[in-house]
Structure 1
Amino acid sequence: MTQTAIPFVMMRGGTSRGPYFRRDDLPEDLDQLADVLISALGSGHPLNIDGIGGGAAVTTKVAMLSKSDDDWADIDYFFAQVSVEEQLVDFKPTCGNILSGVGAAAIELGLFKPQGDRTEIKIRAVNTGAQVRAVLDTTGKEVTYEGTTEIAGVPGTAAPVQLTFMGVVGSATGAFLPTDRLRDTIDGIEVTCMDVAMPIVMARAEDFRLTGYESVAELDANTEFFARMEAIRLKAGELMGMGDVSKSVTPKFGLLAPAKNGGTIATRYFMPWKTHPSMAVTGAQCLASCALTPGTVADGLLERPIDNPATVVLEHASGTIDVIVDYEQNNGFKLNAAGLLRTARKLVDGMVYVPKSVWAKES
């Protein structure tokens, strides 16, 4: 055979989709691993025509799973963001939507056994060190995918997946506020640079002469805005201690505006070179934390919840997402845990093939 076969299961996790692999079925070396993922997903073509990617950043994501040797965790989750049009792979970030499918995929791949009608799996996000508890429906000791839970950005309903995130503050930069300030001014725009589950540069939509309610298509067509946003993002990356981020998807970028549909605050999230069609799970935690923190660019855009835990309802391009935030405000903002409700569904399993010239796996 002139190609190497790699077992996988394709899952929709939250509002993202991609292949889930056993880590030991892939190369250990990261450069070679990147080559394999680029080939498997067809990176380098807008349609990913020569691979199983879906032609969008939310459908060229990869999860690699293994049994954890961590004292706390059951499963290690290693994430890769594969570029659609460039042959690039970014191993720095993690993805909370893809994480929504990790519990089910771990069971499907034989890495974890269901515990009964409800199964809790403790997951370590290898890229960032975050700890996540996932609880899913395993009635009859099988993963249940059908259910009545609906999430914005996904048609129909499915079984719920409850996620609780811990240890996400400073996961990429080591600090809640990587610049040590609640606000910075870059190119005349006030921003808040924050690292909670995902490092994000956040600004008010009105400062870019936007409403914050634009559609994904309207934003993606606004090349002037994207050029200005990217210039700010690159400078913010330096200020956040992340170095040259020109080829990295982090930090991400977010816009804030007053809610108009009954939520807490309106948001738009960028991946960062395209507008996210809905909302990232990791991004939602950082945006919610910014909304709850006095002194950030969110000031004046919302009436801050006073309950603890607080439910922060983020309006986004496809609807809303609720983030339940357990936090403290005694000596500055401190996040203890964030909870979200997601869904996942198994789509395909089998083998994906890459040319042996890319990787000739030793038998």
Structure 2
Amino acid sequence: MKQNAVPCTVYRGGTSRGVFFKESDLPKSKSAQEQIFMSAMDAYNPSQVNGLGSGTSHTSKVIVIHETDSEQACLAYTFYQVGIGEAIVDSAGTCGNLMAAVGAYAIDEGLAKVPSADGMCDVTVLNHNINRLVRIEVPIVDGAAQVDGDYLMAGIVHTGAKISVSILSPGGGKTGTTFPAEMRSELVADEQKFSVTISDIVNPFIFVNAQDFGLDGSESNDILSQNQHLLTQLETLRVQGAVSAGMAETIEAAKEVPSIPKIALVAPPRDYFTTSGVEVKAEEIDIIARMISMGKFHRTFAGSGLYNLASTLLIDGTIPNDCYTSSEQKQLQNIRIGHPDGIAEVTVELTEDGKDVAAVGLDRTARRILEGQCYVPSWL
């Protein structure tokens, strides 16, 4: 039998890449949809050689675009994280990087109202994963999302047109509260207690102090990835944290959802060298962070994690706040996060009492890479 063809588009957004499908082009069956997603990425092979994935969590992603009746949003969408060497399709979390690409998609597909002249276009979309509105400022040229520009973001070699993403009232999208287990809680790995902060902002994250594991936080991904004991400890804490936050009833149930909560090591600023060999000075950043996604250390840092970490860092009593030395207590701040391949800057607006987040924003670039058909083998 010949393969079945499904229309799709491929975008890069930030440091992630995803395959975009329209809901109207997909079968009604959820199971059939998931088979298409896994085939598109090749969830079955760790190398993902038989699909469009690249064997990394930030390139094994799918976006499904939905029509919406919302008067505030021009489209709605759902994000899916697809397994790598595992037949998994997970919509429990979301992707902060691909939000920029969703904005570009809305322009390119004629779903957003585009001004007649070149300039900026405000796009509002609804993210079904977190049930939040996302406002995206997309530069346009000749009626399409602009690609060329002078904005350089860490993790991307070439400059591009800056796209500004802002998520409104981002706290509690999954658990109903920004801190589902108080500001701090204690979890246990190898009979050792670790103090953690579980924060649900855009995507739920567990933050732990790198120094509690004998690390200074500036270690490279190559070094961290070879430390199997560390990986095992962090996964133990991750699944315990899911139960503590009420995201899973049992440890076994938590293991079945590998995408969230994610877990990250944080540390106070210090000098370090990026993956690309560029030196980052301590005075250039507010915190150092390394995160795990789908069992592997992330090449940079997930966009959703940047939103979460920057917000949590500003709130007194959290683990990230311990690493923050600034005495400023402004309602609107720009936070600089040092990740393995550079520096990311996140704008955070706190509520008036300083105990929660009103909005969180991030500048990204995006590019439409491919438009065509994804072929699905008949054996699926």
TM-score normalised to structure 2 length: 0.90
Q: Deviations over 1:36-84 (max 9, x none)?
A: 1111211111221211111211111111112322232111121000011
Which letter does structure 2 place at the counterpart of 1:269?
A: M
The answer to whether the aligner puts 1:178 opposite 2:180 as a matched pair is yes
Within 2, Cα distance between the matches of 1:333 and 1:183? 14
Q: Deviations over 1:282-302 (max 9, x none)?
A: 111111122111111134422
Within 2, Cα distance between the matches of 1:354 and 1:171? 33
Which residue number in structure 1 is paired with residue 267 of structure 2? 257
Contact 1:75 1:121 in 2 (8 A): no
Q: How does 1:160-199 map to 2 (within 5 A)?
A: 160-179=162-181, 181-187=182-188, 188-199=193-204
What is the Cα deviation at residue 357 of structure 1? 4.4
Contact 1:159 1:343 in 2 (8 A): yes
The answer to whether the aligner puts 1:247 opposite 2:256 as a matched pair is yes
Which residue number in structure 2 is paired with residue 80 of structure 1? 80
Which residue number in structure 1 is paired with residue 315 of structure 2? 293
Within 1, Cα distance between the matches of 2:54 and 2:320? 34
Within 1, Cα distance between the matches of 2:124 and 2:312? 27
Which residue number in structure 2 is paired with residue 327 of structure 1? 350
Which letter does structure 2 place at the counterpart of 1:29?
A: S
Which letter does structure 1 place at the counterpart of 2:196?
A: V
What is the Cα deviation at residue 113 of structure 1? 4.8
What is the Cα deviation at residue 233 of structure 1? 0.8
Within 2, Cα distance between the matches of 1:299 and 1:258? 9
Which residue number in structure 2 is paired with residue 65 of structure 1? 65
Which residue number in structure 1 is paired with residue 278 of structure 2? none
Contact 2:45 2:84 in 1 (8 A): yes
The answer to whether the aligner puts 1:281 opposite 2:281 as a matched pair is no
- My pick for the range that moved more, 246-255 or 98-107, is 98-107
In the alignment, structure 2 segments of 5+ residues that lack a partner are: 271-280
Q: How does 1:34-183 map to 2 (within 5 A)?
A: 34-116=34-116, 117=118, 118-179=120-181, 181-183=182-184
2:215 to 199, 210, 213: 210
What is the Cα deviation at residue 353 of structure 1? 0.6
What is the Cα deviation at residue 143 of structure 1? 1.9
The answer to whether the aligner puts 1:342 opposite 2:352 as a matched pair is no
Which letter does structure 2 place at the counterpart of 1:252?
A: K
Within 1, Cα distance between the matches of 2:71 and 2:244? 35
Contact 2:106 2:123 in 1 (8 A): no
In the alignment, structure 1 segments of 5+ residues that lack a partner are: 359-363
Contact 2:47 2:55 in 1 (8 A): yes
Within 1, Cα distance between the matches of 2:356 and 2:344? 21
The number of equivalent residue pairs is 356
Secondary structure of the residue aligned to 1:254 is strand
Contact 1:9 1:349 in 2 (8 A): yes
The answer to whether the aligner puts 1:315 opposite 2:324 as a matched pair is no
> Aligned in 2, Cα 1:109/1:22: closer, same or farther, shift over 3 Å?
farther
Contact 2:315 2:356 in 1 (8 A): no
Aligned-residue CA RMSD in angstroms?
1.5
Secondary structure of the residue aligned to 1:11 is strand
Contact 2:46 2:55 in 1 (8 A): yes
- My pick for the range that moved more, 290-299 or 94-103, is 290-299
Secondary structure of the residue aligned to 1:138 is strand
> Aligned in 2, Cα 1:110/1:6: closer, same or farther, shift over 3 Å?
farther
TM-score normalised to structure 1 length: 0.94
Contact 1:203 1:255 in 2 (8 A): yes
The answer to whether the aligner puts 1:269 opposite 2:291 as a matched pair is yes
> Aligned in 2, Cα 1:299/1:351: closer, same or farther, shift over 3 Å?
closer
